[in-house]
Homo-oligomer: A and B are copies of this chain.
Amino acid sequence: MSLPVSVDAMGGDHAPEAVVAGAVMAWRAGQAVELVGDEARIRPLLPKGVEIAIHHTTEVVAMDEPATAPLRSKPQASVRLIFERVASGAACAAVTCGHTGAAMASALKELGMLPGVQRPALVALVPRTDGGRLVLLDLGANVDVRPELLCGFARMGDAFARSVLEIESPRVALLSNGEEEGKGNDTVRSAFPLLAESGLNFVGNMEPVGAMRGGCDVLVCDGFSGNVMLKTVESTVELVSRLLREEINRRTSARFGAWLIQGALRRFRLRTEEQAAGGAVLLGVNGVAVVGHGRSDAVAVAAAIQHAARQVEVDLMGQLRGETANEP
C-alpha cells in the first residue's frame, strides 16, 4: 500500500469530529490516511472496520496562540507532527485545517525549502466563469514583497498549473488595477519587466474580472492583495446566495419555483464550494502541505486529503524542483 496522507486530527473549528469523518470518507474512497492527535478522542470516532493508524499526541495549537508555538512551547503539537511524518518518509503529504501560521512555521521547520525558493507561498484554485480554474498566489504567506519574490511565486504557480491542472503552457499574469503596462503599484510595475524576461508565458497585468473570465491560468500577487481577493470571492458568494434567498422568499410562486430548482441550487453550491474545499497549498517547502479552511466540514476535509494525494500522484514536487532550479 502507498504511503498515507498524514492528517492533523486536532486542527479546525470542528476538530476532531469533522476531521476524523473526512479522513474516513477519504479512506473509504481508497486513499491511505493516518491521523495525528489525541487517541482518546479520535478512537471512539472511528467506525468498526476502518483501518486508520493514529499517532498519539496531546499537544494542540489553539487558534489564538502564536504561529511559533509548535516550534517553542509545543514541539509535539499535532500540526507539527504531520510534517515530521512527511520529513521522515512515513507519510507522503500533510493536511491540516488548523492554525495557518503554525502550519507554515512547522512545515518550514520540518520540511525545509526547495532549492532556489526564496519564500514559500500559499496557493489556491478559484473557479472561473469559463469553467476553468484560476491558480491564485500568494494568499497571505508574504504580505510585504519585493518584485523578485513575485517572480518566484510565478514560477511556482506555473509548476502547479502544469502538474496539478495539466496545462501545458500556463498563461501567467500579474494582479493589477489595470491591464496596461505601467498600471499597478510600485511592486507590480517593477515586477512586470522581470516577468517579461522570465521565460514564462507571461501575458501581462490583469484585473480580477479578466482573470476570472479566463484571461490567465496563474494570477500572481503579494499575499495581502491575494488574501483580499480570495476572501472577497468567498464573501460575495455568501452575499449573492443571501440576497437571492431573500428575493425568492418574498412570493409564494417564487418559493414553488425555488423548490423546483432546488437540485440546481444544491449543485451550484457544491460547485462554488468544492474549489475552496480543497484548501490552500503551501508551495516552496520540500513536501506536499495542504492547509484547509478552519471551518471545513467532513466533505471539505476529504477534499483537502484528495487534493494533497493528487499532488503526490502528479509529482508536483518534481515539477517544482525543475522549475525553481531555474531561478537565479
Q: Which residues of A contact B (CB under 8 A)?
A: 127-129, 140, 143-144, 175-177, 184-186, 188, 207-209, 211-213, 221-225, 227-229, 231-244, 247-248, 250-251, 253-254, 256-265, 267-268, 271-272
In the complex, what's the smallest C-beta–C-beta distance from A276 to chain B, in angstroms?
12
- In the assembly, how many copies of this chain are there? 2
The residue of chain B having its C-beta at the shortest distance from the C-beta of A258 within the complex is B261
Q: Which residue of B lies closest to A253 (CB)?
A: B260
8 cross-chain pairs, A with B, having the tightest CB-CB distances, nearest first: A257-B260, A257-B261, A236-B236, A247-B264, A177-B227, A232-B232, A212-B235, A143-B185
Which residues of chain B are within 8 angstroms of A272 by Cβ–Cβ distance?
Answer: 239-240, 243
Question: Distance (Å) between the CB of A244 and the closest chain B CB?
Answer: 5
Q: Given A185-B222, A225-B228, A254-B261, 17 more contacts at CB 8 Å? A: A128-B239, A129-B242, A175-B228, A177-B228, A177-B231, A184-B224, A207-B231, A209-B234, A212-B232, A212-B236, A236-B237, A240-B240, A243-B268, A247-B265, A247-B271, A250-B267, A257-B258
Give every chain B residue within 8 A of A128 (Cβ-Cβ).
Answer: 239
| 17 A/B residue pairs, CB under 8 Å, sorted by A | A143-B177, A143-B186, A207-B227, A209-B231, A212-B239, A224-B225, A225-B225, A228-B232, A233-B235, A233-B239, A236-B237, A240-B272, A243-B268, A251-B263, A251-B264, A253-B260, A254-B264
A240 to B72, CA, bound (A): 44
CB of A34 to closest CB in B, whole Å: 31
- Bound-state CA distance A228–B236 (Å) is 13
Q: Which residues of B contact A262 (CB under 8 A)?
A: 257
* Chain B positions within 8 Å of A237 at CB level: 236, 240
A268 touches which of B185, B236, B244 (Cβ 8 Å): B244
Contact among B222, B243, B271 with A127 in the assembled complex (CB-CB below 8 Å): B243
Of the candidates B144, B186, B232, which one forms a contact with A144 in the assembled complex, judged by CB atoms under 8 Å apart? Answer: B186
- B267 contacts A184, C-beta separation under 8 Å: no
Q: Which residues of B contact A211 (CB under 8 A)?
A: 235
Q: Could you say which residues of chain B place their CB within 8 Å of the CB of A177?
A: 140, 143, 223-224, 227-228, 231
Contacts of A129 on B, CB cut-off 8 Å?
235, 238-239, 242
Q: Which one, B232, B244, B247, B267, contacts A233 given CB within 8 A?
A: B232
Q: Which residues of B contact A229 (CB under 8 A)?
A: 228-229, 232
Are B244 and A254 closer than 8 Å at their CB atoms?
Answer: no
Q: Is the pair A228, B244 in contact by a Cβ cutoff of 8 Å?
A: no
CA distance A46 to B261 in the complex (A): 44
Smallest Cβ distance from A69 to chain B, in angstroms? 15
On whether the beta carbons of A143 and B260 are closer than 8 Å, the reply is: no
Residue picked from A235, A247, A259, most chain B C-beta under 10 Å: A235
Residues of B within 8 A of A251 (CB): 263-264
Q: Which residues of B contact A256 (CB under 8 A)?
A: 257, 260
Closest to A100 in B: B178
Q: Tell me, rounded to whole Å, the shortest Cβ–Cβ distance linking A235 to chain B.
A: 4
Q: Is the CB of A248 within 8 A of B236?
A: no
Task: Give the Cβ gap from A210 to chain B, nearest Cβ, in Å.
Answer: 9
